[in-house]
Amino acid sequence: MIIRYIAPLALLALIFAGCASKSVHEEYNKPATYWYQEILKKIAAGNMDKADDAYTSLASEHVASPYLKEAMLILYRVHLEEEEYLMAQFYLDNYIKRYATSRNIEYLKYLKIKTKFAQFRHPKRNQKLLLDTIAEANDYKDKFPGSLYNPMVDTILTKLYLTELILNRDIVSLYKRLGRKKAAELYQKKIDASWLKETPIATENQSLFQKILP
């Protein structure tokens, strides 16, 4: 009879011991400099999850700290280099919300477009992202017609339009194989309306995704 109770009690003991250990090592109420240094340490160690955790603590405990501004930019750049685009976008969006001014908004919005464009390693998997980035790039040109970054935005747009053209050709081919004539005609009209349809690069094969995109 005693054995029946030993296992549950042992399990409970392990659970409480784990919780106690966790509470002992839990860190909070630290100076802003501490959390900022932790972010840098974790990045140097290649532990981005812990770096993000340290940022969360910094942002929670020191909402007005000047370290937040620099920490956001550092984490944005490192996540971008690591091809962790959603996290990079998170930090950039928050930076824009907090620190955008009339003097830096053009650059920050350009960075946002550039960050989205960097995600197109596999364009066929995310048609919505493609269309959203095209729309955002065109909106940028409308809002900032004299921006110094417009030549780069134009380059990105051209590559996105070429990608859209090649993707639409794939869609037409697929719908034809499936016997969906009306759907194929709809996408064919988009191809016919493209100003890039007769360019040499647009008339080559589908492997051009690797040449067009980042």
DSSP string, 105-146: HHHHHHHHHHHHHHTTTSGGG-HHHHHHHHHHHHHHHHH-TT
Q: For the chain, state the CA radius of gyration.
A: 25
pLDDT tens for residues 146-180? 999 999 999 999 989 888 888 888 888 889 999 99
> Where is pLDDT greater, at 125 or 136?
136
- Statement: residue 8 has pLDDT above 70: no
pLDDT at residue 123, rounded to an integer: 60
Task: Tell me the CATH number for domain 29-99.
Answer: 1.25.40
Which residues neighbour 17 within 8 Å (Cβ) at sequence distance 6 or greater?
A: none
Average pLDDT, the chain: 83
pTM of the entire predicted model: 0.76
Domain ranges of the chain: 29-99, 106-214
Half-sphere exposure of 103 (CA within 13 A, CB side): 1
pLDDT tens for residues 38-93? 999 999 999 999 999 999 999 999 999 999 999 999 999 999 999 999 999 999 99
Q: Identify the band that residue 192 occupies on the pLDDT scale cut at 50, 70 and 90.
A: confident
pLDDT at residue 199, rounded to an integer: 63
